[in-house]
Amino acid sequence: MLETTTHELMYKQDLQLTVAIKIAVLDTGFAYTNSEDKRALRPYYQRIKKFANFIEGGSDAEARTDPTGHGTAVAVQVLRVSLKAVLYICRVVSPGSGPDKSAVEKAIRKAAAKPDKGNPDGGGWGVDIINMSFGWPYHHEGVRQAINFARQNGVHLFAATSNDGLLGPPNDILYPARSESVIAVDAADGHGEHAKSAPSSTSQHSRGSRFSAPGLGITSPNRKDIWEGSSFACPIVAGVAALILEFVRQSPLNKSASVQNYVQEMPAMLALLRSMSSEKGPDGLKFLTPWKLIGIWFGGG
């Protein structure tokens, strides 16, 4: 439904965007070194604006590698949903280890800061959206402050909840997904049924800002692996948020400063995502069905 209906409505006429939606993907990197990856991923690679490695002692060239394939699969999901978005690939996870919290903090700040030609390093990238398909059990103060900085700059942040079901850590929704300033994403199947690996539906963490999207049977063009989990649902929701921003950046809405300021606010984004969600089951979990609202926007519903 996403590609056949949402894309048909959104892209039936060429979008006139003066500035593309910028999305930072914080993950393991993006595979683009060998000939096989280049053949499979070229259409996606052409929409990547920057590769950066935020792990201490690493080089930016390492962000063009992805031994696990996780970051590549995540990036591909974003680009499949939003056909006009551009990506900033941030390596914050090394093979065989979890996310480097210091690297995550630095990546968020670089992505969210505004460009500054007077700054020797050019300032930040001024992204609109940050995707974080990872998490850890407990709060981290440096990352919290970076998230607050991003929100002050109008950046929307999305993070995966957990893949441990009811067997996870005491805080069943991982950090940063359970931050009040981050939109949390669960995995579901293609019919909106909550995945067995998803955390408790009764969790109070992120209850008001928690959505689900397909996260089972996910593929990436450069590998035969089948991916599953909230890591791959998260970029789909981030991509839908990009579709919302694409819509409001078209004429005549792009001429309204109040509209542009409004969609940068988290309550506004949450309200829009809720309006394009369907609740399934007694818990009222919100499964994204964006074609419903987008159809109304374009007179198709």
Q: How far apart are CA 164 and CA 71, in angstroms?
A: 20
Helical packing angle, 70-81 and 35-45, nearest 10°: 30
Per the DSSP assignment, residues forming a β-bridge with 156 are: 129
Q: Do 23 and 238 meet the contact criterion of CB atoms below 8 Å apart? A: yes
Q: How far apart are CA 231 and CA 28, in angstroms?
A: 12
∠ CA 296-299-300, rounded to 5°: 80
Q: Which CA distances in Å does 267 have to 147, 180, 181, 209?
A: 16, 11, 10, 9
Q: Which CA distances in Å does 164 have to 175, 196, 197, 209, 238?
A: 14, 9, 5, 20, 22
β strands within the chain, DSSP E? 22-27, 48-53, 86-91, 129-132, 156-160, 183-188, 210-214, 218-220, 223-227, 277-280, 285-288
Lookup: tokens for 115: 């460009």
Return the SS3 of 228: coil
Backbone angles phi and psi of 17, in degrees to 5: -95, 125
Q: How far apart are CA 88 and CA 115, in angstroms?
A: 14
Instruction: Write out the catalytic residue numbers.
Output: 27, 70, 231
Q: How far apart are CA 239 and CA 85, in angstroms?
A: 8
